Each structure stands twice: as C-alpha cells, then as structure tokens.
Amino acid sequence: MPFFITLEGIEGSGKTTQLLRLQEHLRSLGRQVAVTREPGGCRIADVIRTLLLDPGNDSIAPHTELLLYSAARAQHVAEFIRPALKQGKIVLCDRFADATTVYQGAGRGLDMAQIESINRFASQELVPDLTVLLDYPVEEGLHRARTRNHCGNLESEGRFELESIDFHRRIRQGYLDLAAREERFRVIDALGGEDSVAKRIITAVDQFLTSRRSA
Ligand SMILES: Nc1ncnc2c1ncn2[C@@H]1O[C@H](COP(=O)(O)OP(=O)(O)O)[C@@H](O)[C@H]1O
Ligand SMILES: [Mg+2]
C-alpha cells in the first residue's frame, strides 16, 4: 500500500540522517521506497531551492518566500510525489507543507489561515499519512547544523541559520503546537545517538504500518 510519510523538525534535528535509516529499514521489509526532500525533489523545484537557500538572498520578502516554497511544492507533488504513490511506493519526504506553516507562520508571522489555504492549493490537497517530528533543543540543533555546514556539506537553509535563537524557538514550539492538533504526527525525542533515535522512529513507523494493515 502506498503511504506518504514526512519528517519534520528544526535545523540539525537529524531529519536527513534519519530519513536514510528509515529508508533502509523499509527496504529491508521489502517495501518500495522513494526518498525526496523539500524544497526540491525535481528539476524545477531544485532551481527554486537554490534561490531559497542562498544566504545572499536575504532580501526575499516573507510573502515571496511563502510563494516560492509553495511553487516548488506544487511541482514536486505533481511531478514526483503523486506518481510515486500511484506506483504503490512509500514516499519519504524530508520536510513538507508543515515546514511552511511553521517557518512562514510561527517564524515569519504570516497569517496562519492564509498559509494553510495556500498549502492546500500547492499540495493539491495531498496530506501526509504520517508525520515524524524530531524534537530537539534549538541551541544543540543549530550547533550541529553549523558544524555540518562548515564541514562543506552545505545542504541546509543558510538563510535560516542566520536567524535569531528566538526565531528557532518559535519554530520548535510551532511544530509542537501543530503536532498537538494533528493526529498524523508522532513526536520523537531526537536526543541521543543515531541508533537510538532510529529505533524510536522505526518503532513508531512500524506501529503505524501495522495499524493501517489491520484497519
Ligand atoms: N543522533 C545524532 N547524534 C550525533 N550527531 C548526529 C545525530 N543525528 C545527526 N547528527 C549529525 O548532525 C548533523 C545534522 O544532522 P542532519 O541529519 O543533517 O539534520 P537535519 O537534516 O535535521 O538538519 C549532521 O552532521 C549529522 O551527521
Ligand atoms: Mg537536512
């Protein structure tokens, strides 16, 4: 059965690391898995991604930023995610519309109701079946992300790295507020070594898959 599973969390919470671990686990169960990320996941969205991640583009207005993320998502859903689900795959996505709700809403202060309406439009009503939220302290997350980026693996959103601690605290809290509202969320404690976090995620995902089998 196809499922759409997303990973969310602050910078440095371990999303990219854990997505690969989860992919390995699901493949070992014999599932067909497609792994992707936002912003990006297809050529047109990747072009938008380079615009969004460039720390030199610090003059992007919050409304422009919201629409660029949404435009990238619309293409990603149409060109990659929906077709993969149609082929019966489990799609694992590193960030999705919840990131827009939290970064542009809780972070930048744009109107939540408007963001949610734009999100529905951009995702063409596609909502994840399961969202794993990696909850991690902000200072430690930023430290990890900066260390990673300065090692040359600059895959994070450089412009967000420059934001204040307070901005990132609002992001962490925004995610926790969303998780409290939406049943599809599983909040995972992301403290500890890679293996122990992977075990927590795998337990939650296996429980979800079992519940869907017996539904
Ligand atoms: N559980 C962990 N313990 C120690 N280091 C970790 C752990 N998970 C990830 N890292 C390291 O922290 C950095 C950030 O992890 P990453 O997966 O890139 O986070 P995100 O994708 O959420 O920004 C990477 O250098 C990664 O190797
Ligand atoms: Mg990442």
Beta carbon of 145 within 6 Å of any ligand 1 atom: yes
* pTM of the predicted model over 0.75: yes
Beta carbon of 186 within 6 Å of any ligand 1 atom: no
- Helix residue ranges per DSSP H, 108-150: 112-122, 138-150
Domain of 152? 3-213
Amino acid 182 reads E
Beta carbon of 194 within 6 Å of any ligand 1 atom: yes
Report whether pLDDT(215) > 80. no
- Could you read off the pLDDT of 71-127 as tens digits, one per residue? 999 999 999 999 999 999 999 999 999 999 999 999 999 999 999 999 999 999 999
- Could you read off the pLDDT of 25-67 as tens digits, one per residue? 999 999 999 999 999 999 999 999 999 988 889 899 999 999 9
Q: How distant is the alpha carbon of residue 59 from its chain centre?
A: 24
Q: Whose CA is nearest to atom 9 of ligand 1?
A: 14
User: What angle do helix axes 194-213 and 15-28 make, rounded to 10 degrees?
Assistant: 50
Beta carbon of 141 within 6 Å of any ligand 1 atom: no
- Output the CA 156–ligand 2 centroid distance in Å: 6
**Closest ligand 1 atom, residue 134 Cα:** 22
Report pLDDT for 158: 65
Task: Count up the domains in the chain and report the number.
Answer: 1
What residues does 36 pair with on adjacent strands? 93
Give the whole-angstrom CA distance, residue 183 versus residue 40.
26
- Could you read off the pLDDT of 132-168 as tens digits, one per residue? 999 999 999 999 988 887 776 655 556 777 788 999 9
Q: Report the CATH number at residue 153.
A: 3.40.50.300
Report whether pLDDT(180) > 90. yes
